[in-house]
Chains A and B, each alone.
Chain A
Amino acid sequence: MQRRAGAVVFFAALVLITYFFAASAPPLRAEPAARVAFHGRDVLAENWNGDFTLADPDNQERSLREFRGKVVLLAFGYTHCPDVCPTTLAKFAQVRRLLGTQADRVQAIFVTIDPERDTAELLRNYVPAFDPSFLGLRGTEAQTDAVTRAYHANYQILDYRGSVLVDHTASTYVIDAQGRVRLVTPYDQSARELADDVAALLRSDG
Chain B
Amino acid sequence: MTIALSICPRRHAAARSALAAAVLFALSLAPCTAMAEAPLVRVSNAWVRGTVEGQTGSGAYMELTAREDAQLIGATCTLAEHVEVHEMHVVNDMMRMRRVQSLALPRNTTVALNHDFHIMLIGLKRQLTPGQNLTITLQITDAAGVRHDVPVRAPVRALNTAANHGSGHE
List residues of A whose CB falls within 8 A of some B CB: 79-84, 86-87, 89-91, 93-94, 98, 119, 121-122, 125-126, 129-130, 154, 160-163, 165-171, 186-188, 190-192
Q: Which B109-128 residues have a C-beta within 8 angstroms of A?
A: 115, 118, 120, 122
List the B side residues contacting A160 at CB < 8 Å. Answer: 98-99
B29 within 8 A of A: no
Given contacts A82-B86, A130-B159, A165-B97, contact A125 B53 (CB under 8 A): yes
Report Cα–Cα, A165/B100, bound state, in Å: 13
Please, how many angstroms separate the alpha-carbon atoms of A105 and B78 in the complex? Answer: 45
Docked-complex contact B94 and A154, CB < 8 angstroms: yes
User: Which residues of A sit under 8 angstroms from B86, Cβ to Cβ?
Assistant: 82
Nearest B residue to A165, CB-CB: B97
Assembled-state Cα–Cα distance A117/B90 (Å): 23
Tell me the minimal C-beta distance from B168 to chain A in angstroms.
5
- Bound form: Cα–Cα A24–B164 in Å: 32
Q: How far is the CA of A17 from the CA of B49 in the complex (A)?
A: 46
Other A-B contacts than A165-B97, A187-B93, 17 sampled, CB-CB below 8 A, are A79-B52, A82-B59, A82-B120, A84-B90, A86-B49, A93-B160, A125-B53, A129-B160, A163-B84, A163-B120, A167-B95, A168-B95, A169-B93, A170-B95, A187-B95, A188-B168, A190-B170
Known contacts A129-B159, A167-B97; is A191 also within 8 Å of B170 by CB? yes
Q: Which of B88, B94, B118 has the most CB of A within 10 A?
A: B94
What are 22 A-B residue pairs whose CB atoms fall within 8 Å in the complex? Answer: A79-B55, A82-B57, A82-B58, A82-B118, A83-B118, A84-B90, A86-B163, A90-B162, A91-B170, A122-B55, A163-B82, A163-B84, A163-B99, A163-B120, A165-B98, A169-B93, A169-B94, A169-B95, A170-B90, A187-B93, A187-B95, A190-B170
A131 to B: closest C-beta gap in Å: 9
With A83-B59, A90-B160 as contacts: A121 and B93 at CB distance below 8 Å: no
Given A171-B93, A187-B90: A80 touches B98 (CB 8 Å cut-off):
no
Instruction: Say whether B12 faces chain A, with CB atoms less than 8 Å apart.
Output: no
Chain A minimum-CB-distance residue to B97: A165
B56 close to A (CB within 8 Å): yes
Q: Which of A83, A98, A165, A166 contacts B163 (CB 8 A)?
A: A83
Q: Which residues of A contact B118 (CB under 8 A)?
A: 82-83
